[in-house]
Amino acid sequence: MNKNSDFDVVKEIFSWISIIVVAAVIALVLNLFIIANSRVPSASMENTIMTGDRVVGFRLTYLFQEPKRGDVIIFKFPDDESLYYVKRIIGEPGDIIDIKDGKIYLNNSETPLEEDYIKEPMIPEAPMHFEVPEGSYFCMGDNRNNSADSRRWIHPFVHKDKIIAKVIFRYFPGFKMIK
């Protein structure tokens, strides 16, 4: 072997190591600051997101706009912040939420909230009343009859600073935009 071929091998190895390190740093920055990758372990969001689906959320969304009713979010579970949950925002700060006869009523409206995303109508149960505090949100799963959500938690509201990301799409199994 001559010195040129030894140098070319070392140069090639260094080049590959550099590419791998740069790719790892980019992936780390993306995962920590821009996207949130999550697997949904339960049926609480069916039929929007199915059990076992993997979703991607955009961490920067709420730097530019406020969370709004209908957004599907990834957040730290208020009763155990070591867990991340995926639910839909139903109530915004200052909202009054009444749940009666299997329907949701916002701000003393006589007309129930229209929800074309729920899996099936809610099974009626005892009436519930919630007043969403400033800086917080009331969240529910789309599969209302099989969802541990704000109705059931000890701390029923998600504080804005505990929202990790807005879910934008499912990537496994298959691609699907989330509305």
3-state SS class at 83: coil
Assigned token pair, 134:
């400033």
Distance of alpha carbon 35 from alpha carbon 103, whole angstroms: 34
Number of other residues whose CB lies within 10 A of the CB of residue 17: 10
Measured over the CA atoms of residue 149, residue 89, residue 55 and residue 155, the dihedral's sign is negative
Annotated active-site residue in 5, 15, 44, 119: 44
Based on the residue annotation, tell me whether 87 is a catalytic residue of this protein.
yes
Residue 7: φ, ψ to 5°: -65, -40
Residue 173: φ, ψ to 5°: -85, 120
Specify burial of residue 131 (Cβ count, 10 A radius: 0-12, 13-18, 19+). Answer: exposed
Amino acid letter, residue 140: M
Based on the residue annotation, tell me whether 82 is a catalytic residue of this protein.
no
Annotated active-site residue in 42, 82, 87, 179: 87
**Which residues belong to the active site?**
44, 87
